Amino acid sequence: MSFLTCYVSVRHFRSTCSLYKEVLRTLKGRKTSSQEWLKRQFSDPYIEKAKLANYRCRSAFKLLEIDDKYKILKPGDIILDCGASPGSWSQIAVSRTNADKKDIKKKSGIVIGIDLKPVYPVDGAIFLNNCDFTEQSTKEKIIKILQEKIKSEDEQHVDVVLSDMAPNATGIKEMDHTNIIKLGYDVVRFGLTVSAVNGILLVKIWEGSQSKKIFDDISRFYNDTRYVKPQASRSDSAEIFILATGFKGIKR
Active site residues: 204
- Between β-strands 125-128 and 110-114, what pairing exists: parallel, antiparallel or unpaired? parallel
Sign for the CA dihedral angle at 236, 169, 82, 246 comes to positive
Closest CA relative to residue 247, chosen from 218, 212, 227: 218
Helices (H), 44-128: 45-52, 60-70, 88-97
CA distance 60 to 82: 14
CA distance 121 to 124: 9
CA distance 83 to 115: 5
DSSP state, residue 167: P
CA distance 150 to 77: 12
CA-angle at 100, arms to 96 and 105, nearest 5°: 75
The phi, psi pair for 188, rounded to 5°, reads -60, -50
